[in-house]
Amino acid sequence: MQIRRIDDIQEVMKCLPFEREIRNKGRDDQRESKMLLFVQSQLQNPLFGFFMAYDDKGNVKGYIVTIISLIPGVERLHVLRIYAKNGLMKEFEKVLEEWVKQFKIKIAVLTLTDTRMIKAMKRHYGYKVVSVNMERRYL
């Protein structure tokens, strides 16, 4: 298996079947086109990371989308999207840990939209609950 940081929107497009799966399960309601426009606008940003995992035949196995905040006092790696099955998350964690060293980032944060994942993220990956995200929609 190989994990690479992606800077080509055509390569990102290979993740669309996974994005459709995420939406079909009700875990995201954002339009794919908006997501793609955002990713395309950030691909050359050195603080943005779109990492894809490939099997030995070059097939996409998963991906992780991140952005780094260097705001004083809240320097963090924000995990925006994860599609990682079968132990792939541990491999992504190694790559991310190496990538953020150059920015002296020591904290990674993520928002879970499926509360059933809280225990798994705590137990398997060392995350802990430190705050609650609340949402209010404007009409």
Give me the pLDDT at residue 126, please: 81
pTM for this predicted structure: 0.86
Instruction: Tell me which long-range contacts 88-96 makes (C-beta under 8 A, separation of at least 24).
Output: 88/1, 88/53, 88/61, 88/62, 89/124, 89/125, 90/125, 91/1, 91/3, 91/53, 92/3, 92/51, 92/53, 92/62, 92/64, 93/125, 95/3, 95/51, 96/49, 96/51, 96/64, 96/66
Q: What is the mean pLDDT of residues 23-30?
A: 80
- Residue 132 in this model has a pLDDT that exceeds 90: no
Strand partners, 78: 67, 109
CA dihedral 106, 110, 88, 13 (to 10 degrees): -110
In this structure, what DSSP letter does residue 102 have? G
Question: What confidence tier does 129 reach under pLDDT thresholds 50, 70, 90?
Answer: confident
All domains of the chain in start order, with CATH:
2-125 (3.40.630.30)
Residue 119: the pLDDT is 80
Q: How does residue 5 score in pLDDT terms, banded at 50, 70 and 90?
A: very high
Region of 104 on the Ramachandran plot (φ > 0 left; ψ -120 to 50 alpha; else beta):
left
pLDDT in tens, 85-116: 878 989 999 999 999 999 999 999 988 777 77
**pLDDT over 80 at 27, yes or no:** no
**Residues of the chain above pLDDT 90, percent:** 58
Q: Within a 10 A sphere around the Cβ of 49, how many other Cβ atoms?
A: 23
Q: What is the pLDDT of residue 25?
A: 81
Which amino acid makes up residue 2?
A: Q
